[in-house]
Amino acid sequence: MKTNELEKEIGLSKYTIRYYEKEGLIQPKREENGYRDYDDETVQKLKIIKFLRNLQISVDDIKAILDGELDFRHCLKINQVNMQKQIESMNEIKDTIDDYYDKDLPLIEELSEIKNNNNKMGLGFQKTTSTVSLGRKLTPELARRQLIITFIGALVVAVSFSRMPYDLGNMRVLVGIVFFIVTFMLMIAFSFKQTSAMMLDNTLNQSVEFLSDGIYYYQFDGPMSNFKYFFAVVFNKKHQFMHKCLYEDIEKLEVVAKKKYMSIGSPLAYEACVSDFKFTFKDGQTFYFYWPMILNDDARYIAIIVEKKVKHIEDPYNILYAMKQGINLNDYLIGRL
């Protein structure tokens, strides 16, 4: 069989066939005119070689198998172990790619050293988005869940406070009471600042996402504005309330350490050391974020990103250092304030 016929027969290029010949895997016969002639034995050997190469077995190991110096089953076991290591390595690379894509991270070398930590924090708080953020971003799913819970609670309260019998004549009055209480509770729940000392986010719904090219944030701007923002999120129309700022347009970031007096019910109380974040932009606007919730490893990501991307940082207590090291800020600041 001539070379061009062999190519069609087994699906190998003539360059690959010549390479196997050079490596000593096959020894085709030569005709008087110098052309190679491949007998049936060589054709079958090439088919076996092609099969073994498809199993990612090296040329050296194939030669050893064909020469009887290496057991085929033993070779498969070695390759099985190596392939498993390669699969694990590729899965790690895929996870890193997925993580960078989902988080929309900037290209910063130090970020690659952070290992994902998706643990919950505090009383079961979980991130609502995959992006790195200060605060917990309000998403349609979270907003709708809060809306349903609040509506059910308001409905229970309305019915509980209504002493009227449920006959047809009083139904309109009952519906009116329910509507009033539901509306009032929704306004309270979704419009005003939270007052509970146990809540980490002292201003409702605020968040700052750190993306590849800048920050994307929502800033509390009064009860009615926040009420509109909440329902805009419910119906996926929040963009008119969101702000985008490139990193180069952030004039200054101040990391402010404070002591807060935390009351968990009279007479029980304690002091907590917390950090606030103040952004000053080149257009003169500012955004002060009181004690934002930071979940998972976002603190480390944030510290690295702002140190690389924001030119002017005021951090007298080196809070960003503690964040990069994964140190609990309350423990870090005790004795310093």
pLDDT tens per residue across span 253-273: 999 998 877 665 555 667 788
Distance CA 293, CA 276 (A): 10
Is the pLDDT assigned to residue 178 strictly greater than 80? no
**Apex 44 CA angle, 40 and 48, nearest 5:** 170
Pairing verdict, β 250-263 and 313-314? parallel
pLDDT at 300: 94
**Apex 254 CA angle, 252 and 258, nearest 5:** 170
2-57: per-residue pLDDT in tens?
888 889 889 999 999 999 999 999 998 888 888 888 999 999 999 999 999 999 89
Distance CA 208, CA 137 (A): 8
Is the pLDDT assigned to residue 195 strictly greater than 50? no
Q: Residue type at 226?
A: N
Distance CA 275, CA 299 (A): 12
Question: Which of 82-86, 110-114, 138-142, 321-325 is least confident?
Answer: 110-114
Give the largest Cα separation in the chain, rounded. Answer: 114
Q: State whether the Cα torsion 287-291-295-298 is positive or negative.
A: positive
* Helix, strand, or coil (residue 233): helix
Q: State whether the Cα torsion 308-310-316-318 is positive or negative.
A: negative
Selected residue with higher pLDDT from 316 and 166 = 316
pLDDT at 149: 81
323 alpha-carbon distance from chain centroid: 18
Q: Using alpha carbons, list the distances in angstroms from residue 317 to 85, 201, 244.
A: 44, 21, 28
Q: How many CA atoms lie within 13 A of 216 on its CB side?
A: 18
Under 8 Å between Cβ of 208 and 217: yes
Smallest CA-to-CA distance from 313 within 257, 251, 258 is with 251
Q: What is the DSSP letter of 154?
A: H
Tokens in use for 158?
């309305």
Is the pLDDT assigned to residue 139 strictly greater than 50? yes
Is the pLDDT assigned to residue 230 strictly greater than 80? yes
pLDDT at 120: 47
- Show Cβ contacts of residue 223 under 8 Å, excluding neighbours closer than 6 positions: 187, 191, 192
Distance CA 34, CA 31 (A): 5
Smallest CA-to-CA distance from 257 within 202, 318, 313 is with 318
pLDDT at 35: 86
Tokens in use for 34?
């110098």
Q: Which position has the token pair 């909440």?
A: 230
Distance CA 234, CA 51 (A): 57
63-112: per-residue pLDDT in tens?
999 999 999 999 999 999 999 999 999 998 898 889 899 999 999 989 88
- The DSSP secondary structure of 10-67, one letter per residue, reads H---HHHHHHHHHTTS---EE-TTS-EE--HHHHHHHHHHHHHHHTT--HHHHHHHHT
Smallest CA-to-CA distance from 109 within 299, 304, 296 is with 304
Q: What is the DSSP letter of 280?
A: E
